[in-house]
Amino acid sequence: MKFFLITDNIDTQTGLRLVGVRGVTVHERDEVLKIIGQLKDKEDIGILLITEKIADLIPDELNKMRLSKKPPLVTVIPDRHGSKRPRDFITRNVQEAIGVRIK
């Protein structure tokens, strides 16, 4: 199984290409949906990496992919500018899920 990247930033694509991850740089919602449609037919893509800005363009499609439980596994990553999520987002999720505060 291989990784594939969909990003809006050429620097992110170049950095991941250095470690062997193929990918594309796109900027429009229609372009993203077209690429995802093509990837659904490829059995060798196991993990789909998507930068946060691109994920914001297609939240419903990403949820459908995650709920289908079929490959590829979708993972949203920050780009070279960093994450938009707060630093303690994992801690907050754990606290909300099980009601235990982690310090």
Per-domain boundaries in the chain: 2-98
pLDDT at position 43 is 85
Query: In the chain, what's the furthest Cα-to-Cα distance?
Result: 44
pLDDT at position 68 is 86
* Section 66-80 average pLDDT: 85
Looking at the chain, the whole-number percentage of residues with pLDDT higher than 90 is 42
8 A C-beta contact, residue 39 and residue 57: no
Query: pTM for the full model?
Result: 0.78
Euclidean distance between CA atoms 19 and 34, whole angstroms = 25
For residues 52 and 99, the model is more confident at 52
Angle at 90 between CA 1 and CA 88, to 5 degrees: 135
Angle at 12 between CA 11 and CA 18, to 5 degrees: 90
Question: Was domain 2-98 assigned CATH 3.30.70.270?
Answer: no
Residue 42 CA, chain-centre distance (Å), reads: 17
Mean pLDDT of the chain: 85
pLDDT at position 86 is 59
